Each structure stands twice: as structure tokens, then as C-alpha cells.
Amino acid sequence: MNSILNRNLFFIKEHVGIFKAANNFDILDPESQEIIMHCREEKLGFFTKMLRFTDYKRMTPFNVEIKTPKGEKVLTVKRGISIILSTVEVFDENDVLVGSFKQKLFSIGGKFNVLDPNENVLCKLQGKWTSWDFKFVNENNEFGHVSKKWAGLGKEMFTTADNYMLEINESVPKDDPLRTLILGAVICIDMVLKE
């Protein structure tokens, strides 16, 4: 696992474009505002590009690679065609499956089970799409939080609806695969629930 995932705060900024088919993000250090990772959807097929401009956009597959500015792969987030519910897979820098997210049926605000490679539930991603507030929880433990509102040093950066903050709880051990899954989920939230 790349050591960059041992941070606890990540500021995610989506690239804005009028006619954009691909989903691209930059991940910044909220204190220094330095770009620490790039998220790019580079392997986009012709038909997928065309469907991204239609009502079928939410059903299209995606393959987003997250890399350091030096080009080192950190993780990959993939989904095939989605008709009703999404299953998103997260792979590490060596393309080994770390886990997945399975969307739950009848969840108004957006709810996913976060699973390990053997499909054991590690935690649940629960949220309110109206306030754009999502939490990674397991019983009474909160492992992470994603929000458009943050009272820390990066709050002045919240100028558009495409920016949000990921905070991973310090209780999640360093080099724990759950950190990879939580960061991958941020892409999952935006592309599955918010498109």
C-alpha cells in the first residue's frame, strides 16, 4: 500500500468541464493545497463516451486510476455496466483486489456495504444526498467521513459543488486496506450517486 494513504485528510476537487465524458479529480493536501494524487479516467471507450451524454450516464462502466504526481499507481476503482444497483471494485497499486462496494436496494440517501475481497462486510457507507454528508460506519464506530462542509484549514477552498473533504479516522491503522477502500469510495459516491 502506498504510504500516501496513511494521511487522514484529503481534499478532492473535480475537474469541471462543459462537454466532459471522463471523470477526473485532483486530491490535495488541505493544509498546503498541494496536489498529492491525480484521479483520471483514461481508458474510456467510444460507446461509453457517447452514452455519458445521455440519460444512460449512470449505467455506464468506469475505470478510474489514482496516481501520485510522479505517476505511481495508488489504486484503481472499476465498475462494469450498472442496470439497477452498482458493484464497484477497488484494486491496489499491483491490481490486486482490495475489496468492493455493493449498493443496497431501497436506500434513499445512498447506502453501500464495504466488503473485503471475500465479501465480508467491513463497514457501511451511509449518507444523505441532500446534504452531501456520508459516513463509513460499523455499529458504533465511524471510520471516515465525506462532506462538502469542513471547518478546517481547507474550508476556503470550497468554492464549487465539485469539491469535498474526506477525513479518515485516526483509529484506522496505517497500511490498513480499509484506507484504500475509503478513498476509492469517494470516487464511488460521486460517480454512482451524484451523476
- Measured CA to CA, the distance from residue 178 to residue 144 in angstroms comes to 10
Secondary structure of residue 156 in the 3-state scheme: helix
Residues in the chain: 195
Exposed, middle or buried: residue 111 (CB in 10 Å: 0-12, 13-18, 19+)?
Answer: middle
Q: Quote the pLDDT of residue 195.
A: 47
Residue 60 has pLDDT above 80, yes or no: no
| pTM across the whole model | 0.83
Q: Which residue would you say has higher pLDDT here, 10 or 103?
A: 10
Whether 58 and 82 have beta carbons less than 8 Å apart is answered as yes
How far is CA 33 from its chain centroid? 19
**Whole domain around residue 156: which residue ranges?**
3-193
Residue of 56, 109, 61 whose CA lies nearest to 89: 61
Q: pLDDT tens digits for 91-128?
A: 999 999 999 988 776 555 557 899 999 999 999 988 77
What is the count of structural domains for the chain? 1
Residue 160 has pLDDT above 50, yes or no: no
How large a percentage of the chain has pLDDT more than 70? Answer: 71
Exposed, middle or buried: residue 108 (CB in 10 Å: 0-12, 13-18, 19+)?
Answer: exposed
Residue 194 has pLDDT above 60, yes or no: no
Q: pLDDT tens digits for 77-93?
A: 998 777 667 788 999 99
At 168, which CATH number? 2.40.160.200
What is the rounded average pLDDT of the residues 60-89? Answer: 87
Which of 10-14, 16-20, 60-64 ranks highest by mean pLDDT?
10-14
